Amino acid sequence: MILDMMPLLCGEKNKIEFEFSYVPDKNGALCQTFSDIDFSSPVKVSGYVKSMAGYMFLHEDIHVEYSTACARCAEPVDGKMELSFEKDIADESVSEDNDDYIFLEDKKLDLIDPTEEELMLELPSKTLCREDCAGLCVKCGKNLNLGKCSCKQSEGDPRLQILKTLLK
């Protein structure tokens, strides 16, 4: 999604609204960074660019749905997230390497890059199927959400464990 910034730059408009959805590129930065997350539902983005006294900024609202594996039990789990952000925009003529700004290229603004950068910052690195997921037994690999396994669990007070070891 490329937004033509000319109406804003020449003062014809002081706000341009946009709305789009897209499926992240499998080879793009987002999918590469979160290789264990499946972004097959389109990411929905809406927002606007606004110009105020020669200063421009981007506002975006993002809605993302994804599927991944639970970080504890590896069962499939769906996640979703809503997030909003604002970022200053600078014309390429004043460009320097600066993370605080999004730079225009040929008076155009690429909206995918800032969207994916924000998602990379905000998406959780781990998703659980539920808050208290019991995970898998470290010995037999059974999903403990489905019931206990027959392995002896070495839970409890670690100090008692040391005592048990000493008594052997």
109 is an interface residue for Zn ion by CB under 5 A: no
Residue 158 CB contacts under 8 Å (≥ 6 apart), including other chains: none
70 is an interface residue for Zn ion by CB under 5 A: yes
Question: In Å, what is the CA distance from 86 to each residue of 47, 82, 101, 133?
Answer: 10, 14, 10, 35
Question: In Å, what is the CA distance from 109 to each residue of 25, 96, 99, 118?
Answer: 18, 16, 15, 16
Q: Which of residues 74-103 bind Zn ion (CB under 5 A)?
A: none
Range in contact with Zn ion (rule: CB under 5 A) among 21-29, 118-126, 136-144, 156-164: 136-144
146 is an interface residue for Zn ion by CB under 5 A: no
Kind and range of the H or E run holding 51: strand 43-52
Could you say which of 5, 73, 112, 119 contacts Zn ion (CB under 5 A)? 73
Q: Is the CB of 12 or the CB of 155 nearer to Zn ion?
A: 155
Could you say which of 139, 146, 148, 163 contacts Zn ion (CB under 5 A)? 139
Smallest gap from residue 83 Cβ to Zn ion (A): 24
136 is an interface residue for Zn ion by CB under 5 A: no
* Structural tokens at position 79: 């996640």
Smallest gap from residue 161 Cβ to Zn ion (A): 18
Task: Name the β-bridge partners of 56.
Answer: 51, 89
Q: Is the CB of 81 or the CB of 151 nearer to Zn ion?
A: 151
- Contact between 73 and 129 under an 8 Å Cβ cutoff? The reply is yes
Interface residues toward Zn ion, by CB under 5 A: 70, 72-73, 129, 133, 137, 139-140, 149, 151
